Structure 1
Amino acid sequence: MRYKEGYKIQKRQELIAISGKLAKKQGFYATGIDRFMKAAGVTSGSFYKHFSSKNDLFKALIETESERSIRMWWNNPHDNVEDWIDYELDRYLSLSHVEQPENGCFLPSLANEIAQSDREIRILHQNELLRGHALFSKNLGSEEKAWAMMSQLVGVILIARSIEDENLRIKILESNKHMMKQSLKSIQANN
């Protein structure tokens, strides 16, 4: 049977998107190829029509998820630094991001698995992270502030996800938002 032009590319993108959601929720290495393919509604045999290995899928997930994050940061509608920061903190440090990892940033869910992966995956991730860092550096006016903000954002989500009590989760999110806003404002006032 012949497929329409572009079908294979579209199906691959669909498999990456569905696998990404599942990996962010359940872990990449803890989820087998069969489970990824079942979630996508295809047979396990069709996996190899799109990916050469599970590592190949992981690389595609990292690239796709990184691109998704960068697009979101580019779509921040604010030009001035203070509003840009407020927008990003409110968007990222949200209860929905904590409770729905499948719809959020991949770093709180998959950074540890990336760290345990082979060199090729870690280098790919590093290069993708540097792209995001460049955007944060541009908006914050500092490479150092960009690393600090990016790292704290991921860490806050990771800690909040480890807490059972919703009120405490909210307190963690809000206190970090407040502290980060104050810290970045004081740094800017001194520049």
Structure 2
Amino acid sequence: MRYKAGYKEEKRRELLKVSGQLAKKNGFHATGVDGFMKESGVTSGAFYSHFSSKNELFKALVESELEQSIQLWQSNPHNDAAAWIEFELNRYLSPLHAEKPEYGCVLPALSSEISRAEEDIKQVYEAELIRGIQLFEKHLGSQDQAWAVLCQMVGSILMARSVASPELKIRILESSKQFLLSQITLHAA
């Protein structure tokens, strides 16, 4: 059967999108290849026409998901450093992000699994993470502050996802946002 030009690439992007959502919601290692492919509406046999192994899927997923986060950070409409970081804190530290991991950032959802992954996956993660940090550094004026802010944001989402009480979830997010805003000192870039 002949497919239109670009079909395979489009199908791979679709598989990564659906697999990313499922992995962020349920965990990557907790989901088998059959589960990823079923959710994507393709056979498990089709998996191997796109990825050589589940490890290869994980690596592609990490890269794709971090690229999406970077694109979101780049789409921030503000150039002013204070407005840029406030926008990001409001977007990232939101109840929706805490309640719907499948539509959120890969960092709070899969970092613990990535920490136990093969070296090649960690290398992809590190390279993409550094690209993201460079955006934060550009607006914050300090690499140390960029790391601290991103780590606090990720940890806040993780903690908010871990509690049952909606009130406590909101308190975690809001207190983290206020703390970060009070601690951030913007340097002229």
**Normalising TM by the smaller chain, what interval?**
over 0.9
Cross-structure match for 2:98: 98
Cross-structure match for 1:62: 62
Cross-structure match for 1:134: 134
Residue 163 of structure 1: how far off its partner (Å): 0.4
Cross-structure match for 1:37: 37
Please show how residues 129-168 of structure 1 align to structure 2 within 5 Å.
129-168=129-168
Structure 1 runs (4+) greater than 2 angstroms displaced:
none
Residue 48 of structure 1: how far off its partner (Å): 0.1
Distance 1:139 1:89 in 2: 13
Comparing both structures, which one devotes a greater share of its residues to helix? Answer: 1
Root-mean-square deviation (CA), in Å? 1.4
Answer yes or no: is the 8 Å Cα contact 2:65–2:106 preserved in 1. Answer: yes
Match for 2:157: what amino acid?
I
Gaps of 5+ in 2: none
**What is the percent sequence identity of the aligned residues?**
54
Residue 76 of structure 1: how far off its partner (Å): 0.5
Cross-structure match for 2:80: 80
Cross-structure match for 2:53: 53
Cross-structure match for 2:27: 27
TM-score, normalisation: structure 2: 0.97
Residue 188 of structure 1: how far off its partner (Å): 3.3
TM-score, normalisation: structure 1: 0.96
Residue 130 of structure 1: how far off its partner (Å): 0.5
Answer yes or no: is the 8 Å Cα contact 2:92–2:153 preserved in 1. Answer: yes
Match for 2:172: what amino acid?
I
- The number of residue pairs the alignment matches comes to 189
Gaps of 5+ in 1: none
Distance 1:142 1:28 in 2: 33
